[in-house]
Structure 1
Amino acid sequence: MDLCCCAPCKPRYRRLVDDIYLRSGTDGLHKSNMQKLTFYVLSQPEKLDRIGEYILLRLSRDLYRQRYTQVKVSVEAMDQLLQSCHVLSSLNQFIESFLKMLQKLLETNNLAMEKLATDSFVNFANIEESTPAYHREYDFFIAKFAAMCFSNDSKDARAIRYAGLKGLRGVVWKSATDPLQVSIWEKQHMCKIIPAILLNLEDNDDREEKDEGHGDEQPSPFTQSFASGIAESPKALSDQFLRELMEKAPFGLISVIEPVLSHCDSHGKWKPPANFATHVFGAIMFSIKDPSFVIQALINHLETKSNSDASIRIGIATVLSSIVSRANACIGPSLLGIFNSLLKHLRQSVEFRHSKECPSIKAEEDYQNTLINAMGYYANALPDYQKVDIMMLIVESIPKISGTYPNLTAAEMYLRSVLVKTLLRVATKYKTAYFSAVFTDSFLKTLLQLAVINEPSVRLNTQSIFHTLLDRHDNLSLLAHLPCLTDVDNQPLIHRCSRADQIFMRSHITSFTHMLYKNVFLSPEDSTLSEHIDAALCTMALLCVEARCDEVLVELLRLVFALQSAALESVFNTHKRILVHSLVSKYLNFSSLLMAVPSVYQYVQRVLKQRTHLGASALNILSASRETTEVTRFGRREVHDEALEKQCLRKLVDDPSLTFNRNDFAEMLKASGKDVQRLSLPFASKGRGINVDGVENSSDNTQNALLKIRQNNVDESTFLIDTSFETSPPGSRTTSRRNTILSNFENENNLPYLTVDSLRKALNSSSDLAEKERIEKEKTVRVVERFRKKDFDYLVKEVERVNERADLSTAIKRLLQKSDENIITEQPKSIFEVNFPCALVE
């Protein structure tokens, strides 16, 4: 019997799909029928793409008829099939139908459908596919999810933005984990994703709700890492998404930073205090693979804003100072490049400050201080050896310091002051281990020159640099304003000095003492005088503590007695002389405690007690009050009784018992076994002032002689060292056989020849590198000036005269002439006129 039916025949896969929909239309997915469909797909994988197309067809029909329950069933079925069949080779075609389904859901602009599509796409993003997909693109989803993040609907804005962020996060996760996908890191995609993240990151809705609920504050981005799981609010999710995005970004990718910079520019996020920009870049620095790349990008952006308002540049510099401490892994060229860039911007700001176009000097100074702080924070995050390199780099950037270049513009002088502040900021982050490691020849020379230039603020900052570099045992808080100590057993002041530091200080202590002598002379006689005197005293105390060897102590004593002599000889004004005497008293009291020589300590205390009868409070350091002050409506200021101070100074000059005696010190130290031979040498030539341009005062007689020769414009090469041998006895008439063949010129300037004693003194004396360098420079200048100003004929004759003296033929001719003059012209005696000795005559 034949059977027939009027209904059209459906393929099996369609009947299985139809069975998962319940006829009531109000219930969900039929689970048992869904299991049959899944088993069918696994047994016949080639039918998977057709099943996907058919489900998409039904979903489109249900969407048109607004049967949203059936739509949810279709989406759930597609999700389950995707989860169960992700290992099949035919999955790619099914995914195309799946993405078309999500696209249709997102195009409805219905919040429930958009959330349903977003959740489905997030589940799809977590699936690992076994087959590559070369043609798949997510441009529509990026654009749609980004648009959802910008929703302004007052009723459902938070939900829509949250769904958009989840969708973008899924797109990034899916694209970043699959290297065969179209690159998500292209600029066109990042310009949509990152602004969407930043817009939700600055949303204030969460903060308002938190304030209403009295919740705890959100932790700072600098102290938290990635959040676990999914955040519950758009603000928290955007922060988590930003961190994940930067973590997945390839090394040194500029396309992820440029949108952040553009967003801060267009929305005015650089204006101080720039909290939002600081938060964003803090999160980026904690997440990105190359932190130094972010800093360099910010510096480059700062360069593009060089002509912008100062508030914008201050905001960028503030962000830099907040995040540079994270870039502790950058080394080599990146380190020097970053610091060179910061110094370049600092120099440009200084030049702009002194130009007529600068609208606000105060704003430019704030910008410069912010850059200085940024460099200080950056240096603090680096190892010590890199801090030394940075300090050398700053020193090389300081404009002309030497006295050879006295004419500096106002901008150059101000730049020098700013760079010294920068150097001080970096130096405070450095911990000195060995003096020779940080005080290299060029670095020490520059600091010594900066300490004696004609700018008081620079000199004071340079002393602060010496303080922080010399202080290795955290004694600066005690020695910054040195009190009158009576005991050092309870103070951490006694430390052992290494042999390397002793060798270094033996070679350079004279440079330090000469610098301190000049620095005290140059201290301005104004309200800042006490600060300069205290700074010099602190440097002396630190040298005494950190380099405890006999040579250093003796040189510092020479300096102290030289300052006392200058204060007694009325070189300074009245109040400055009083403060210098106070400096001498405090240092000798301090050093006598460290030397632990009872006779020296008793002698110092005896002199100090005798000074207690004087009226000036600065001379009475044993009293409890350091100085007399009065309170005015402008604050506290020093009160000086000039008549009383003059009376005290006259007593110091008239009564030797009120001053410290060099000879008494030398005898007591010699009795204790110390070498005090150099203590009797004069520290500086009397009657000479202080040359601000860098002329050093000598400490030895030989150096004083050279200094006088330089004053008379005499070349140092005229000093002749006699290396010939005198074989004739002192009263002999025989001509001395000196080496006069190739050098027959006389000492035209009647200068004294160097003797063995003077050479011995020169060898035993400490070398002064700054003095040697200055002598070489002056000699070069004299040679250049000679050839510039002297007549050409004169120079030709001078060269001919020198060549004639050194010519061998001329020398032989001169020798023969001298031999002819000594020919004996008398007749020789006969044998009968010769008197033979008695021993030869029989």
Structure 2
Amino acid sequence: MPSQFPCTWCAGHHDRLSAEIIRDDQQAGSSWSWTVIDWHQVCCVARWREVKRSFEMNDLCCCTPCKPRYRRLVDSIYPRAITDGLISSNMQKLIFYAISHPEKLERIGEYLVSRMSRDLGRLRFVQVKIAVEAMDQLLQSCHSSPSLPHFSENHLKMVQKLLESNNPKMEQLATDSFVTFSNIEESSPSYDRQYDFFISKFSQMCHATTGEDWRKIRSAGLKGLRGVVWKSVTDDLHPNIWEKQHMDKIVPSILFNLQEPDHLDEPSKSSLLFDGPFADDPNRDEGPRTLSDRCLRELMGKASFGSLRAVMEPVLKHMDLHQHWKPPPVFAIHVFKAIIYSIQSQNSYFVIQELINHLDSMSTADASIRIGIATVLSNIVSIAGTSIGPLLLSIFNSLLKHLRTSVDFKRSGKCKDTEAEKMYQEALLNAMGDFANALPDYQKVEMMMFTVGNIPSLDEKRFKQGDEFLQHVLVKTLLKVATRYRTAYLATVFTESFLRTLIQLALVNDSQVRLGTQQIFHTLLDRHDNLSHLSHLPYVLDVSDLQLTVEKCSRADQMFMRKHIHDMTQMLYRAVTLIANDGNLQLHMDAIQCTMSLLCIEVGFDETLIELFRLAFALQTLAVDPSNGFCAEKRIALHNLIAKYMNLAAQLMANPSLCQHVQQVVACRARGPPGLNLLLDDKHDEVHIVGGTTEAVERVELSMLAEVGGMLFERNDVADCLKAAGKDVSRLSQPFTLSSSKSAQEKGIDETDGKTSPFLPMAGMDDVSVDLSVDWTPPESARQSRRNTEHTEQVLASIRNRPFEDQADESCARHEAGDLSRAVSRLLARNADTVRMANIGRPAKPKNIFEMNLPTAFAL
């Protein structure tokens, strides 16, 4: 049976007291007695404490000496005058008491909350502010107290009451107090604390649009959300902030303020009492836009990999609803850059993948929306490129898939706005180029090989309608990636399949694809940043003015070029024949000249130089041949291409005789058509013709260049110059021919060069192509032809008129030096004379003391 007495002291004396009262009643035996007073009930300690606590909580103690000490200390911090603030000296006493008596901290908090609630209801805002400031100081001073979790609950009740007041000043005051609370690190956790109300209220404040202080209310709401994030992330018992229901409130509130213009605050019209800050906050004067940007970065910085999806979904949804994808997507770029820079680097690929997935879901949306998403990808993909790792090809394949889908959609006839679709493709190309820029070189090679594998078949039999445009787009993609690549060794990037595809692309019918392929060769061959000087190379008297960087070709590159130089030169030759007579003629000529110049500079060893000279003479023959149907402009451009290359090669080889020959030809061409006069482009030498005179001379027609001496580069003169420099010119005399027979094509053998040429396709040449079985050796001039005819007649007359014996004796005398036996005898005799002359004047050899001379009889 439970005891009816509240304390053990009363229960212990109850039986003894009852027995004494019964005994006294029996002894007296009278009807009257004094009333017995139970003083033990009056003096019961537990009962007195219960009554005292009830009076304290109901404010029934009106006598100050009857109040407990902590209440008297709390009351002492309030000033008697309204204009005065918190009494600092009494506040220090309260803090000291709370630290000395941690068990009283909870009661101090309860009393402050009760008094603040009473003052708030009576609109005593000064006393409310004092109570909040006292709570904040106690919270900061007693952060290591064991009673802090209970005190924090009272603090949160106070903040909640202030937020429920719907008074802007009180809401700001509550927000500042909550931020102070969020910066406190609690030593003991709280198991039942929830922040649902604060998330909802602070999010509501972030969307304030009415009233004079709406900007301050928004700033307060953002600060409150920052405080919630800080407090929730540092406490492992509160991971629910990353739930969808909370992120759907926090993220849109942040983005809503981030998109607003950040104007200066208007002067406040409220009283001076509330104009000053309620707490020391260095970010007090920051606007909503600045605070929202900081809040977004902190939120993403504290998000783990598992919680990124919960944050990204509201961001993408906000962009869709508020139409932030429309070009130019400045706001979307700013938001996603802030996200990429804030999250952990190893998680950056997740943001890229989410954007690509969102692009998949918007594949049927308006082109402007897809352009905006692709533009955002282009701006952030380079930031996340270094951390993508194994997902490299997956992401790049996704971009290529979207590119192919766009191309198919554009040519399907259902596309209403082709220009917008083209802009979308350009945005995807920029995204892939920027993506490649951030990758290491070996991954760039993988991307180029992957892009080449997606180019449609170049076989005419399997070529589908519309694949030309896809070729054009993928070549631009390949050029974007190649521009970011830095070549070390040619064999590393120019693999068999890659080089084969490039050579085939350089000979397709689409002129833009051919030009793009030449530009790919330029950016991959250029390893010393010479491309800017060679892209539109003029005729220069001194190549050193270009400040080109030339280094010795490595042995690995020499082995690579020995195998593939013939394929490249034949590709360049055929590319010249495919150049159309349109406005892009000079652009294509400059591209081929740049390729030849880069080959001369980057891999300029003997065999490469000889092959390039062979190519130059073959192009010269092509330029003077009237049967190919070239227009005059194309012939002049081709002559100028050859002259500029010969001038560059001669000066880089430092061959004075070759340089002199080139200068003589260029000077003689001043008498030709105006387009052939390369000296007109030189500032130092204007119109001066050979001999230094400016008299009018007779112009040589373009069709008569082969008939006039000195107007063309002579193969024999160039061979002599190279031979004098120690070069092997045996291949220079061989004609530059192309084989078109089916058997040679199947075997991949060039009949003239004797080298394998498996890369050059014979199909796909247009009507400009000429019969490749023709020997394109330079035609002889009329004077040389006459001399040859006269010499032939003399030989025939000598054979017919002279006796056979005389002709035989003359032939033997003429070829005596070529007799092998006589030549060997002559060489042995010469060697014996040399040894004998060398021994003259030398001392005799010392006698060998170990040599034994046997008698003649034993010698046998």
- Tell whether the structures are fold-level matches, with TM greater than 0.5: yes
CA offsets, 1:297-354, max 9 Å, x none?
2222122111111111111222222222322422422322222221111111111111
Rounded Cα–Cα distance in structure 1 between residues aligned with 2:262 and 2:668: 75
The partner residue of 2:198 within 115, 131, 141 is 141
The partner residue of 1:662 within 715, 718, 731 is 715
Letter in 2 for 1:94: F
Compared CA separation, residues 346 and 228, structure 1 to 2 (3 A): farther
What does residue 373 of structure 2 align with? 316
The partner residue of 1:599 within 613, 633, 657 is 657
What does residue 681 of structure 1 align with? 734
The yes-or-no answer on 1:437 pairing with 2:492 is: yes
Pairwise CA distance, 1:475: 2.0
Compared CA separation, residues 677 and 27, structure 1 to 2 (3 A): same
Letter in 2 for 1:677: S
Q: Is residue 206–residue 235 contact of structure 1 (8 Å, CA) maintained in 2?
A: no
The partner residue of 2:609 within 525, 549, 553 is 553
Q: Is residue 137–residue 182 contact of structure 1 (8 Å, CA) maintained in 2?
A: no
Rounded Cα–Cα distance in structure 2 between residues aligned with 1:465 and 1:336: 21
The partner residue of 1:422 within 477, 482, 497 is 477
CA offsets, 1:73-112, max 9 Å, x none?
3222322222222222222222112111111110000112
SS in 2 for 1:417: helix
Letter in 1 for 2:214: A
The share of aligned pairs that are identical, in percent, is 56
Compared CA separation, residues 231 and 517, structure 1 to 2 (3 A): farther
Larger Rg: 2
Letter in 2 for 1:602: Q
What does residue 223 of structure 2 align with? 166
Matches within 5 A, 1:283-432: 283-290=338-345, 291-401=348-458, 403=459, 405-410=461-466, 412-432=467-487
Compared CA separation, residues 352 and 231, structure 1 to 2 (3 A): farther
Rounded Cα–Cα distance in structure 1 between residues aligned with 2:68 and 2:762: 100
Rounded Cα–Cα distance in structure 2 between residues aligned with 1:395 and 1:581: 34
Pairwise CA distance, 1:766: 4.3
Q: Is residue 539–residue 678 contact of structure 2 (8 Å, CA) maintained in 1?
A: yes
What does residue 728 of structure 1 align with? none
The partner residue of 1:266 within 321, 346, 357 is 321
Rounded Cα–Cα distance in structure 2 between residues aligned with 1:72 and 1:768: 90
Rounded Cα–Cα distance in structure 2 between residues aligned with 1:609 and 1:37: 103
The partner residue of 2:704 within 632, 636, 651 is 651
What does residue 560 of structure 2 align with? 504
Rounded Cα–Cα distance in structure 1 between residues aligned with 2:529 and 2:502: 21
Letter in 1 for 2:154: S
Rounded Cα–Cα distance in structure 2 between residues aligned with 1:463 and 1:207: 55
Rounded Cα–Cα distance in structure 1 between residues aligned with 2:298 and 2:327: 28
CA offsets, 1:593-643, max 9 Å, x none?
2222222222232233322212x22323233289xxxxxxxxxxxxxxxxx
What does residue 257 of structure 1 align with? 312
Letter in 2 for 1:578: I
What does residue 581 of structure 2 align with? 525
What does residue 516 of structure 1 align with? 572
Q: Is residue 215–residue 265 contact of structure 2 (8 Å, CA) maintained in 1?
A: no
The yes-or-no answer on 1:624 pairing with 2:681 is: yes
Rounded Cα–Cα distance in structure 2 between residues aligned with 1:471 and 1:649: 35
SS in 2 for 1:770: coil
Letter in 1 for 2:599: L
Compared CA separation, residues 231 and 66, structure 1 to 2 (3 A): closer
What does residue 45 of structure 1 align with? 102
Pairwise CA distance, 1:114: 0.8
What does residue 278 of structure 2 align with? none
The partner residue of 1:465 within 509, 513, 520 is 520
Pairwise CA distance, 1:245: 1.7
Q: Is residue 507–residue 768 contact of structure 1 (8 Å, CA) maintained in 2?
A: no
SS in 1 for 2:678: coil
Matches within 5 A, 1:824-835: none
Pairwise CA distance, 1:549: 0.5
CA offsets, 1:679-735, max 9 Å, x none?
222221xxxxxxxxxxxx34xxxxx7xx35358xxx869xxxxxxxxxxxxxxxxxx
Q: Is residue 231–residue 237 contact of structure 1 (8 Å, CA) maintained in 2?
A: no
CA offsets, 1:559-611, max 9 Å, x none?
11222222333223232333322322222222222222222222232233322
The partner residue of 1:770 within 747, 756, 759 is 759
CA offsets, 1:497-523, max 9 Å, x none?
222222221221111101101101111
Matches within 5 A, 1:148-297: 148-206=205-263, 232-251=286-305, 253-290=308-345, 291-297=348-354
What does residue 791 of structure 1 align with? none
What does residue 725 of structure 2 align with? 672
Q: Is residue 571–residue 760 contact of structure 2 (8 Å, CA) maintained in 1?
A: no
What does residue 485 of structure 1 align with? 540
Q: Is residue 505–residue 514 contact of structure 2 (8 Å, CA) maintained in 1?
A: yes
Letter in 1 for 2:607: E
Letter in 2 for 1:234: P
CA offsets, 1:158-185, max 9 Å, x none?
1111111111111111111222223322
SS in 2 for 1:257: helix
What does residue 566 of structure 1 align with? 622
Pairwise CA distance, 1:236: 1.4
Pairwise CA distance, 1:547: 1.0
Greater mean deviation of Cα atoms: 305-314 or 485-494:
485-494
Letter in 1 for 2:300: M
Q: Is residue 208–residue 217 contact of structure 2 (8 Å, CA) maintained in 1?
A: yes
Rounded Cα–Cα distance in structure 1 between residues aligned with 2:613 and 2:207: 75
SS in 1 for 2:504: helix
SS in 2 for 1:206: coil
Compared CA separation, residues 525 and 772, structure 1 to 2 (3 A): closer
Compared CA separation, residues 209 and 562, structure 1 to 2 (3 A): farther
Compared CA separation, residues 476 and 429, structure 1 to 2 (3 A): same
The yes-or-no answer on 1:536 pairing with 2:592 is: yes
CA offsets, 1:122-172, max 9 Å, x none?
110111100012221111101101100100114110111111111111111
Pairwise CA distance, 1:40: 3.8
Rounded Cα–Cα distance in structure 2 between residues aligned with 1:69 and 1:557: 96
Q: Is residue 561–residue 662 contact of structure 1 (8 Å, CA) maintained in 2?
A: yes
Letter in 1 for 2:454: S
Rounded Cα–Cα distance in structure 2 between residues aligned with 1:27 and 1:605: 98
Rounded Cα–Cα distance in structure 2 between residues aligned with 1:26 and 1:592: 95
Rounded Cα–Cα distance in structure 1 between residues aligned with 2:530 and 2:524: 12
What stretches of structure 1 of length at least 5 have no aligned partner?
Answer: 211-226, 627-643, 685-696, 699-703, 718-757, 775-842
Greater mean deviation of Cα atoms: 384-393 or 165-174:
384-393
Give the TM-score normalised by the residue count of structure 1.
0.75
Rounded Cα–Cα distance in structure 2 between residues aligned with 1:250 and 1:407: 49
What does residue 585 of structure 1 align with? 643
Compared CA separation, residues 99 and 314, structure 1 to 2 (3 A): same
CA offsets, 1:41-98, max 9 Å, x none?
3344333333322332222222222222322232223222222222222222221121
Compared CA separation, residues 84 and 610, structure 1 to 2 (3 A): closer
What does residue 834 of structure 2 align with? none
What does residue 7 of structure 2 align with? none
Rounded Cα–Cα distance in structure 1 between residues aligned with 2:727 and 2:265: 76
Matches within 5 A, 1:2-17: 10-17=67-74
Rounded Cα–Cα distance in structure 2 between residues aligned with 1:207 and 1:413: 56
